[in-house]
Homo-oligomer: A and B are copies of this chain.
Amino acid sequence: MVLINGKTGDKISIQDRGLQYGDGVFETIAHRNNKAEFLEQHLSRLIEGCKVLSIAFEQIETLREELERVFQSLEDQTAVIKIIITRGTGRRGYFSDNTEIPTRIISSHPFPSHPEQYQTEGVLLRFCEQTLSTNSRLASIKHLNRLEQVLARNEWDDPDIPEGIMSDDEDNIIEGTMSNIFIVEEGKLFTPVVTRAGIAGVMRAQVIQLATRSGLSVQERTITRRQLAEAEEVFVCNSIIGIWPVYAISNKMYPVGFITQFLQKALAECDK
């Protein structure tokens, strides 16, 4: 099912600034067990992203009603729900007089079928050549300018490598093409800062919260390639895949460690 500004249909105007300039934000939400997981956190980030882009999105209650309609329509209750908010349809040119009404797009998609052992035995990652450019204003939010991720993800087509790691121009580790990354060093958790590049994932925030509540030390900081190589455990996470242990990056092997497994269990048991 696709709802565009509350109406069923799967087409938008070519004048929409979402197409013209990537002028908008999006969220990807797991709908499982009759529940849209971490819905409030996703909606909060969506609103935060609109604020950063000065998109006058005031239709949050309408969006909630539309989401409810899409949730009700799901035959199989397991689905990926994608929300896109664009600045709306405007005249040609970068300038917006902010009279546009933001476009709301909600679509449901089949849940991706990843092998079960990704959760238990972990995944094999690779390094991407495509870097993430730094932009303090656009960092953290989940906007529609995703060419860097597209180019990075299309550097390989080996189906046994489900994710690649992206760095900034200074070779600091930032994230996966579709996930955030955590490492364990001397029993402590670290994840890259995403204030200059990268996305502040909803699952990333959940992992930080779960770890903190469990008394684990978690710190956001710069992570170099060397620190990644020397890590005791590595995992990646997002709202759809949850937490995937990393068993190898290229030919460097990692164990599926205690802290990763602990967090997977905590995530499985937490209130979503």
Q: Compute how far the CA of A149 lies from the CA of B94 in the bound complex, rounded to whole angstroms.
A: 7
Whether A96 contacts B22 in the complex (CB less than 8 A), given A13-B10, A145-B145, comes out as: no
Q: Which residue of the partner chain B has the closest CB to A131?
A: B135
Q: A70 on the interface (CB 8 Å rule)? A: no
Q: Compute how far the CA of A87 lies from the CA of B154 in the bound complex, rounded to whole angstroms.
A: 12
Q: A270 on the interface (CB 8 Å rule)? A: no
Instruction: Pick the residue among B93, B147, B148, B153 that contacts A178 (CB under 8 A).
Output: B93
**Structural contact, B19 and A19, CB atoms closer than 8 A:** yes
Instruction: Pick the residue among B17, B143, B151 that contacts A137 (CB under 8 A).
Output: B151
Q: A77 on the interface (CB 8 Å rule)? A: no
Q: Interface code A142-179, partner B: CB below 8 Å = 1, 0 otherwise?
A: 01111111111110010000000000010000000110
Whether A169 contacts B10 in the complex (CB less than 8 A), given A23-B146, A96-B154, A144-B19, comes out as: no
Residues of B within 8 A of A178 (CB): 93-94
Q: Interface code A4-25, partner B: CB below 8 Å = 1, 0 otherwise?
A: 1000001111111111111100
**Structural contact, A133 and B130, CB atoms closer than 8 A:** no
Q: Which residue of the partner chain B has the closest CB to A178?
A: B94
**Structural contact, B14 and A14, CB atoms closer than 8 A:** no
Whether A147 contacts B177 in the complex (CB less than 8 A), given A105-B14, A134-B169, comes out as: no
List residues of A (23-66) whose CB comes within 8 Å of B's CBs.
Answer: 23, 26, 28, 53-54
**Structural contact, B21 and A19, CB atoms closer than 8 A:** no
Q: A107 on the interface (CB 8 Å rule)? A: yes
Q: List 15 extra interface pairs beyond A20-B84, A134-B169, CB under 8 A.
A: A11-B14, A19-B144, A20-B26, A22-B146, A22-B147, A23-B147, A82-B92, A92-B109, A94-B154, A94-B177, A96-B150, A97-B157, A131-B135, A137-B151, A138-B148
